[in-house]
Structure 1
Amino acid sequence: MVLKCGQDDGPNRGTYGKLICTNFKISFLGYCASEEEPLFKNKVIGENDITLQCVDQLYGIYDDRRKPLCNQLRRYPEKIIIHCKDLRVFHFCLRYTKEEEVKRIVSGIVHQTQTPKLFKRLFLFSYATAAPKETEIKNQTVMFDTIKDWRQELERTKGNLKFKAVSANEDYKVSKKLPPYFVVPMAVSEESLLEYQGKGVPIWCWSCHTGAALLKMSAFPKEQDDSASQMQKIFLEGMYKTVNKPPYEAMKLEELSSSLPSLQDIQTAYTRFKQLFLVDNSSDFWDTDVKWFSLLESTNWQEIIRRYLRKAIEVIDLLEAQNTNVLLVEENASDLCCVISSLVQIMMDSYCRTKLGFQSLIQKEWIMGGHAFLNRCNHLRQTEREEVPVFLLFLDCIWQLVQQYPPAFEFTETYLTVLSDCLYIPIFSTFFFNCQHQHDTAVTGGSCDAESSPLSFISVWDWSVQFECKAIALLNNPLYAEKPKLDKIQRKTTKFKHQRQLSLPLTPSKPPPKRGFFKEETDQLIKNILGKRISRLITSSDELQSTSREFYDNWHSKPVDFHGILLPRLEGPGIRVWAQRYLRWIPEAQLPGGGTIAAATTILDTMEDVQGLQKKVDESHSQVASSEVETPPLMRNEDRRRSSLFPFALLQRHSLKPVLPTSTWKDLGSEEDLASRDDDFVEIGDV
């Protein structure tokens, strides 16, 4: 029995209830029934539920001091604070709990969340033994687990003329990190795939309408002896010659590890960034209010997003304007390659901006692409160095596009927020394996016995497991500008024109424009004077100017085609904070009746009114118009409860912002001391 405290509740205030810890989640069951149900109810995870994988940090309060909780506890805390990976913060007061119960619950939570786990001990496996068998429905997400799926994707993108789907890895003979089926250039032989376990072989991602293709490749390890290094060099040269022959276009290599922020940079930036949102109380929130933007900039998270989007634009320039194949190179081609290849397809292929297309893209590039979700999310609590939010970085980049071009996407920002939460729900197998081989081995239990029943893992794409129909509707964008379907005659007449609308005309590549507005010497002088912060901004703008500035500026000078290429705005306020995900649990940050949800609600109400009036016009078209026509209400009563935190929270209580920042009045000392002090003498000087 514990007391769940709010951010500003005193030691004797809160909700009394029972705290439970299982091998699935930590749950609080309050005795006081909540006044209203959440508007966006999840059937799997309740408002007061925390899955074990979602726990980020545990803290104990000892004599008003906060200390991290570890496995070896000499003394039990008066209060336990849980920081979650979805940025919720829970406070549980243990002062009124029996000593034996305190020991049991604290030890249980620490053991379940801090102790390294065995892979087969994850709740995912316990649930899979009892889960219902998945039923395949038509028009579902393409899983890319059959060679047929890959061939259909080749046909859809017109890549089947130069590339082929292979089944050489069907029994994982080539590599355990590669999927059973993938696509390579026509000229690549099966012997080449087997020679170095798929390393050094260009693997197809997507084909552009110009004929150029996006490929990726696992690089050979840098530290090799001379003989092995020489053999690998000869192999790579032979592979490049094979791919560079007609009918293939010229190829440009993009070494992502050297041109983009590293995994360590991403991890460091996000660790700083999330601290801005893990708020323990209102005082902490208002303390950071005055310097919030400088703190945000110092995390470097927004700059990393900008650099990844910029790299995607550079790749699109090569594919679209320069008609050049692009080969993304990374050590295992399963981290930075996943981000850039996915962003390029989202920006260039309108199909990937539909809900099913986006889910199919994640299956192709991330799940089958071998992104190590188990390690990157640290589900086993064994590899803290490898815990890097690469997939979250990708979703944040997509959110930037969604908020800049809402009609171009069939899904909403709520969909992206929910998807980020699904990383930590251990009943879905989608984000809990390092590769497809690990998944397939887990399904069969590692046995070759045909009679043994395989485990039944659930895919995260079955949204009905988590939400009712009314909640699922919030994942779909009603303002999506659906692509008009043209008949065959119209397609033939407008084909060339449509390609011109999609992109710039295909012109030979021009030499890069001069750097910025300043000469080299002046540029260096300004950098020295203004310091590193301004230097970074100058450098970041010059990077794009020296590569794809003309392409970027030319695209932004034309009207946006929501079914063509989309290029995000990178300058200044173009890159924003994903407020719905990061601020949704902070009552002080909400805008009652405001934010993007207020604008969307107004538009939806207007659309509903227009549809209602149109229906009445259609019904009374053959009749005499009646003077007693009821006009539907423009303001919905239930919408008044909504805020910028919708749909994740009802309108919450605000804490009053202090007239002076908290840090300022703390420096003034106590009230008694302030009252007894003389006024400071200030010389005004001559008037």
Structure 2
Amino acid sequence: MDAIRISKVEDVLCTKAGAALKGTIHLTTHHLIFRYDDNKEKEMWTPYPLISLVNRLPQTLQGQCPLTFHTRTFEIFSITFTKESDASDVFESVKELTVALSVFHLYAFSYQPNPPLPTNNGWSIYSPREEFGRMGVGTRTKAWRLTDINKDYSFCPTYPSKLIVPTKISDTTLQYAAKYRSKCRIPVLTYLHWSNYASITRSSQPMVGITQNRSIQDEKLIETIFQTHHAPESRASNSPVYGATTTNLIIDARPTANAVANTAKGAGTEIMEHYKEGKKLYLGIDHIHAMRESLAKVVEALREADNLLASINNDLSGQISGVSVLDRQALRRSGWLRHLSIVLEGINIITRNVHVNSSHVLIHCSDGWDRTSQLSSLTQLCLDPFYRTIRGFEILIEKDWLSFGHKFLDRSGHLSSEKFFVSPPETNSGNTGAEAAQGFLASMQNRFASQSHIKETSPIFHQFLEAVRQIQRQAPERFEFNERFLRQLYYHLYSCQFGTFLFNTEKERRTGEGGNPPPIERTISVWDFLNSPEEMAQNMNPSYNPSLDDPTSRSPDADMGVLFPNPKDIRFWYELYGRTDDEMNGRNIPAPAIRFPDVVGLIESTEDDARVDTPSNIPLPPSPGSTPCILPAGHSPAGSDITSTLHASSSAGNPPAIAARSHPSSRDSFRPFSMSGSAFSMKTATSHPSPTSPNRPAGSRAQELLSGPGVFGRSVWDRLSSNASAALSVVQDAYGGVTKERGDPTTTETPKTEELQNRNYLTSWSEDMQQPNGAPAARVTNPSISTSPSSASHTSPNSGNPWTSMEVANNRPTLSFYDNPWDISTRSDTQQPVSATNPTQLSDDISSGSLPFDPTVVPHSMSKTIHVSPRPPLEFKTPETLEQPPRPSSSNGSTDPLGVGFGP
């Protein structure tokens, strides 16, 4: 009580979740309590270990002194005082009550439930004999035995007192093998599979060092583990399993570089030349410091969003509600979801090797109490349906986390630090320079002394709970407990109300110090609280279906109760962070239905902020980059003709919709072309009269827009069409003058429906191209100037430009590569052929707007004083007169079938 400078302050303002209410703050030995005036809200009880950060802000111009509290449950609230002395007293009191000097000062050692909890067997819920007996040790197989070599924790202080080891290995061999493993954590059994006697064992890294040390006892121990299903005393069948391959694995959870780097510290990884019975695999899971930094980035993004929202509410006086300002890009840059995905990938590898390959797996990281516990427990959760019940999940945590020595005290940071209490520097003009320097030195010494254990903190168990939530979300009917059960576990991980998660090892929980009773006799287990009837009723999953885990089921979708989570289906656990699914994961945008009359605007990038569900039956074309595509709002079935769909829309009097991809990485929600094997086909529509143009076959203009040379170069102009009504009118006008198709009834040499031929069969563009007067077609040497459509005649399938699939009407201009198809002002229905030998006509055409602006040609209307340097007129040369160096030709003699020229 000496730490409490002030126990009660009235008439203070509490701001939480955008609401500001007045009340009274109370400081007790273990809780900060805020009671609202007139009981407008429920009292807010905050255990001191749950406080992660306190900011004391400077006094405002209105004389208010705010304190901002951040909790480990990702909540933020502010207490505003009218007196600076009250704010200072509360700040100092909370700091001294939160920064504990010993674990025995925490709330669990003084908590007494009133009334008492109905159950009190939480500390004995896990029995190694009963649990491993349930797996079949000693009953189904005699290849494993229970040893008491660590009954007094002298063999390995961080291991449980009961260990399961191979029957063929003596305790003497274990004593020698322990010298070769970090912290004496030898390979011991943690799980025996119920169907095939495959095992999961766990250990720490070997002490290989730079000198490449080896241990015969350790090699013999692992060899025996990998042969336990062949033990003579075992009742397991030695016949091979159909389709199974024996692949005993040594799983090193670390990245390869980290494992190799540890050899400089005298540790390292196994030299597989000495372990002939297995193979080694690195999973690439980062260390505890990377996990801590990753979660810190997530928390920082949440804090910035809360601060921004608070400033918005202050400026607008609560006029805006429900605004999401969370930066989802910052969340993804944190790498938190990537870490979870890597963990789930490792789980799938181990699960498949145990269940499908009927093989053994040894898991370890550095010391075998962080990443090893994650992989071991999560794999058992997927393999054994028992661990997906409430009782089984509690036993799993007791076995693989508590008894095998996960450092809950260090990783959770229960003792806190003065580093997390930030106050503005105090300016006192009465102090001398020496006194100020002495005070600064003392404060720095205290700060460094209280930060010595902060580098050991890491959200390892938190990450385990999030991984369980991912599997639970993917298979909701396979878990007896719901999401709230996991959230309650997370809350009491940091509340320090119960003694379950307070210590680093089983030895610390079950042995007393200085004549005091052990902590298991002085504290209450969290399982007693969670197994109470009131909590049990709220934590049950109503959709749980245990019949799905029947291993004897022979239904088509039966999986024998073994789960394989999808490592790509990873999302933020938004309930834990107090946000909505849309805020943290983006909105779920379904694929559009087939509705042709709709006009779809520009589709913004949905890669980061939304999830686009695209039907898998839509063919995917080769992406041309950031380009607009004209196509129906829906999609045509596989193998159908897209232009037929366009015709169906136009025949109904409705223009096809426009959908544009605004970013190269945007997801392709609309697929305009059809793919058949490796052939890229764009088929023309069958000839039917169109209401808009009875003399032209419907779909020909659509194909021109789809296959014309300018369709993939108009993304700039597409961006400029911001007015939806203007864009619609332009599209309608474009479809009003539908041009002729290659399958014109007046010509008989070309079929109306035809696929593009292979490039090997395409002749040169210059061959068989005839002008109206019978002369060979001229070839444009300047690609920026397109020829007049009136000068181009109908070509055969095997000659001319292979990508021009139709004839263009003489009263309509072609779509030049540099044309702006959306600019009505530049369109001319009476455009005349461009004469290459008449520069004046070219300048006039440019000034009149019938051609795109060429920066090398200055119209007369722009300036009368600017003179253009003389340049030779444009020449149209036939292939016979082209003066070019020889170029390699294709197999059929085509020199440049695409007409783009060869590279230098």
**TM-score > 0.5 by shorter chain:** yes
TM-score norm. by structure 1 comes to 0.64
The residue number in structure 1 matching 2:309 is 282
SS of 1:429's equivalent in the other structure is coil
- Closer/same/farther in 2, CA of residues 34 and 589 from structure 1, 3 Å limit: farther
Distance 1:370 1:468, change over 3 A: same
**Equivalent in the alignment of 1:308:** 343
Q: Deviations over 1:305-361 (max 9, x none)?
A: 111001100111211222220000222211101111111111111111111111111
Q: Report the Cα distance in structure 2 between the residues aligned to 1:315 and 1:178, rounded to whole angstroms.
A: 23
Specify the alignment match of 2:45 in structure 1: 49
Q: Which residue pairs with 1:243 in the alignment?
A: 225
Cα distance, 1:564 vs. partner? Answer: 1.3
**1:559 is matched with which residue?**
557
The 1:147–1:416 alpha-carbon spacing in structure 2 relative to 1, beyond 3 Å, is closer
Q: In the aligned structure 2, how far is the partner of 1:560 from the partner of 1:303? A: 30
State the distance in 2 between where 1:51 and 1:60 align. Answer: 19
Match of 1:93 among 80, 96, 106: 80
Deviations 1:113-134 (A, max 9, x none): 3x35223322322337999799
1:319 and 2:301 aligned? no
Pick closer, same or farther for the CA change 1:141–1:483 going to 2, 3 Å.
Answer: farther
Residues 1:396 and 2:466 aligned together: yes
Distance 1:685 1:453, change over 3 A: closer
1:106 alignment partner in structure 2? 91
SS, match of residue 375 in structure 1: helix
Mapped partners of 2:292, 2:140: distance in 1: 36
User: Which residue in the other structure is 1:416 paired with?
Assistant: 486
Question: Which is helix-richer, 1 or 2?
Answer: 1
**SS of aligned partner of 1:396:** helix
The answer to whether the 8 A contact 1:354-1:411 is kept is: yes
What is the identity, as a one-letter code, of the residue corresponding to 2:27? C
Give the CA deviation at 1:32.
2.3
- Shift in Å, 1:191: 1.8
Q: What is the TM-score of this pair, normalised by structure 2?
A: 0.49
Corresponding residue for 2:20?
Answer: 14
Q: Please, which of 203, 223, 232 is the counterpart of residue 217 of structure 1?
A: 203
Structure whose CA Rg is larger: 2
Aligned match for 2:529, one of 454, 463, 476:
463
> Letter of the aligned partner of 2:570 in structure 1?
I
Superposition pairs of residues 632-643 of structure 1, within 5 angstroms: none
User: Residue 73 of structure 2: SS of its match in structure 1?
Assistant: coil
**Do 1:157 and 1:207's aligned partners in 2 also have CA atoms closer than 8 Å?**
no
Return 5+ residue gaps in structure 1 as ranges: 38-46, 66-75, 487-494, 502-557, 595-683
**AA in 1 matched with 2:54:** L
**Secondary structure in structure 2 of the residue aligned to 1:410:** coil
1:215 alignment partner AA: T
Contact 1:372 1:433 survives alignment (8 Å): yes
- Does residue 12 of structure 2 align to residue 3 of structure 1? yes
Alpha-carbon displacement from aligned partner over 1:455-505 (angstroms, at most 9, x marks no partner): 43211112369x772x5422101111023899xxxxxxxx7x64x77xxxx
CA distance in 2, matches of 1:81, 1:242: 58
Q: Show CA shifts across 1:558-611 (max 9, x none).
A: 7364x611122233xx21111211125x899699xx9xxxxxxxxxxxxxxxxx
Give distance in 1, aligned partners of 2:581 and 2:549. 45
The residue aligned with 1:434 is 504
1:478-497 mapped onto 2 (5 Å cutoff):
478-483=542-547
Equivalents in 1 of 2:167, 2:361: separation in Å? 17
User: Could you tell me how far 1:150 is from its partner in structure 2?
Assistant: 4.2
RMSD over aligned Cα, in angstroms?
3.7
The residue aligned with 1:184 is 165
> For each residue in 1:201-257, what CA deviation from the matched residue of structure 2 results, as whole angstroms up to 9, or x when unmatched?
321111221221111112234657x5xx63x53332232333344645763111112
Q: Which amino acid aligns with 1:340?
A: L
Q: Tell me the SS of whatever aligns to 1:332.
A: coil
The alignment-based identity, stated in percent, is: 21
1:122 alignment partner, one of 75, 81, 106: 106
Paired position in structure 1 for 2:666: none
Match of 1:253 among 234, 247, 250: 250
Gaps of 5+ in 2: 1-8, 231-245, 256-283, 313-320, 417-450, 589-821, 826-904
Map of 1:361-372 to 2, 5 A cutoff?
A: 361-372=396-407
Quote the offset at 1:409 in angstroms.
0.7
| Distance change (3 Å), C-alpha of 1:418 and 1:102 | same
Work out the CA distance in 2 between the residues paired with 1:147 and 1:459: 18
The amino acid of 1:476's aligned partner reads M
Determine the structure 2 residue equivalent to 1:80.
67
Shift of the 245–587 alpha-carbon distance from structure 1 to 2, 3 Å rule, reads closer
SS at match of 1:218: coil
Aligned partner of 2:4 in structure 1 is none
Describe how 1:617-628 pairs up with structure 2 within 5 A: none
Cα contact 1:19–1:28 (8 A) shared by 2: yes
1:385 equivalenced with 2:381 (yes/no): no
Give the Cα separation in 1 of the matches to 2:364 and 2:34: 47
2:186 counterpart of 1:201: yes
User: For residues 132 and 583 of structure 1, do their structure 2 counterparts lie closer, same or farther at Cα, with a shift above 3 Å needed?
Assistant: closer
Once the 2 structures are TM-superposed, how far is the Cα of residue 448 of structure 1 from its aligned partner? 8.3
